[in-house]
Structure 1
């Protein structure tokens, strides 16, 4: 028998994570069980209560490409949120990822991964970019680089897949497209970030024909490097766009800050055709392994 080491980050966050997980399980039960056991047994289970997460792992500057046991510790903390049941995760977006780090996260959680190489090298020579973790996918979309009008500061990218919930290879609802992205950083880069969000929401056609959201819900996980009231996020909040924290916030202090300095700059957005789900049980947990928190929510929907 192997005894796993418990990291300081996991010890500090374990109580809160377990309480959150228990509350979310209890919230989900009525939709699944109903008042009459015989009715619940015969009725099809069309409601999904699935976790979605995003995490800037600080993989190059903070870890210089290392894919060591700190990743195992983070994966254990993710498991704690769902009481060890990783089937409850629809997907997780990772940013600032050296390729081997994303692959180890996937192995530790029993998931698959897709990666976008933004053309930058990590300190140890690995490709650098964003990763998407998921159980299964109907297809992985061709990744893309985001607009970089001034040609400085390094390329940013997006990777997406049409994902399926664990144990549901043939979902009855419209296809759910999950994405992980990381926008340009910098106080003078708001115009560039606006071009990037406009590209993601309105301009990009991964299949050459349809923009994201035209055929089914889009779920975007990412470090957007802007607070909720920033104009570059207008397009993501527009139409039927919804963010996991709820109403758009204006100024500090933020309900759920995701960065060490107290800002909210990490997001979980939904929009597109059929994107009528409800975000709830939204939260964060801190870690010593990154300057960002792990940000997560439960999406209750009849799609996915």
Structure 2
């Protein structure tokens, strides 16, 4: 059994006995200095252990209230300093990123034996500090009496927050479901509220994983530091060896789904194919499809993960133009409902299709995306692109969307020294 604590104290016999299993202690108010039993427990841990803290963290930083309290501040009459006293001064999205990333990294390390995020400080999370194992110095230095008093006040406030958020939800539901009486005494059908606004950074990258790197993964940390930076919400990888996709996911604190198109084909014996990296939790089963046409012995495929606001897909088309045309014709046929065996991707809602299409915007095969499907591309209308995505100065990597009202901004094609393709990123939202 592996255990972690998100700013929690320790009570009972285990405080003196300790554990012989891996343990991750994430500090907020419950530091080892504030709670003597926690320091005793720490001293008696005999297996792997790490103690980390997010700068400025409060107890509620590690809960949903990190986002709920700032939203309810107006209802509660809280000024920014009072909000920060409850959930810390950080942006809510950064608090949630830490909540999601470090527990996943802990279990990945000790259950799947992969990942390096817990090796030490990460440039992706400069606000997360590693407390040396031997130190008893707490970050916040609160006395136990002060801690208990603060906890009681926090619990009272949580009750108020919960009631006010429930009232706000009921009022919102009542005002966004609009009905009006007609002359015959009946009511018109309810009109639902418009969809909630959303925005997400997404990316695609043909990583040249086997031809360029022979399946090795040692180049991945520097490309993340130099080009990728903060993890996007979703990222498509092509020409990836499975271990490389897993390394990207681990380093970025993301989840990974892999499509093995050529099993054990990488020089290191790993599977070769496409991958989708994503934050959060998939909202349904992963979609994996093999497209018509094979380049020598390499099949071509797409893999999609349903997320809260979109179906995000990675794709890699053939290097042969005739086969590419067949693949995009197949895709448009499916999207028009012409294949009774396959559900159109747009049936999931907003589709984001990202990857290496191996064709330029004005090529016949891309007509199936721009015209037949009516997809929008991250750099604008067909023929309007201004940036290449490949070392040979062609644009052959794309991020398309259809099936919803999404639009793009902040699109960027960034060359790197690690692949012949550029890292292609954009923001998408409604």
Q: Do they superpose with TM above 0.5?
A: yes
Change in Cα spacing, 1:218 to 1:194, as seen in structure 2 (3 Å) is same
**Residue 94 to residue 46, structure 1, CA distance change in 2 (3 Å):** same
Q: What displacement does 1:155 show?
A: 1.1
Q: CA deviation at 1:285?
A: 1.3
Q: Taking CA–CA contacts closer than 8 Å with sequence separation of 6 or more, which of the two structures ends up with the larger relative contact order? A: 1
Tell me the distance in 2 between the aligned counterparts of 1:207 and 1:266: 29
Once residues 194 and 255 of structure 1 are traced to their aligned partners in structure 2, the CA distance between those partners, rounded to angstroms, is 24
Q: Does the 8 A contact of 1:179 with 1:220 survive in 2?
A: yes
Tell me which protein shows more helix as a share of its residues.
Answer: 2
TM-score (normalised: structure 1)? 0.72
Match status 1:182 vs 2:316: yes
Aligned twin of 1:118 = 261
For 2:304 and 2:364, the matched residues in 1 are separated by: 24
Deviates more, 1:100-109 or 1:196-205: 196-205
- Map of 2:415 onto structure 1: 286
Aligned-pair CA distance for 1:78: 5.1
By how many angstroms is 1:2 displaced? 5.6
Please say if residues 282 and 297 of structure 1, whose CA atoms lie closer than 8 Å, have aligned partners that are also in contact. yes
CA contact (8 A) 1:200 1:212 kept: no
Flag structure 1 segments of 5+ consecutive residues without an equivalent: 6-41, 165-174
1:286 and 1:292 in contact (8 A); partners too = yes
Give the Å deviation of 1:145.
Answer: 1.6
Asked if residue 297 in structure 1 is aligned to residue 426 in structure 2, the reply is: yes
Q: 1:79/1:100 Cα in 2 relative to 1: closer, same or farther (>3 Å)?
A: same
Considering fraction of residues, name the structure with more strand: 1
Query: Residue in 2 aligned with 1:234?
Result: 367
Give the structure-2-normalised TM-score. Answer: 0.52
Q: Provide the secondary structure at the position in 2 that maps to 1:137.
A: coil
| Aligned residues: CA RMSD | 2.9
The equivalent of 1:267 in structure 2 is 398
1:97 to 2:208 alignment? no
Who is 1:56 aligned against? 206
SS in 2 for 1:46: coil
> Structure 2: 5+ residue runs without aligned partners?
1-118, 124-170, 173-192
Q: 2:306 aligns with which of 148, 153, 162?
A: 162
**Is 2:286 the counterpart of 1:141?**
yes
Correspondent of 1:248 among 382, 385, 392: 382
Report the structure number with the largest CA radius of gyration: 2
1:71-110 aligned within 5 A: 71-77=220-226, 80=229, 84=230, 86=231, 89-110=232-253
The Cα shift of 1:146 comes to 1.4
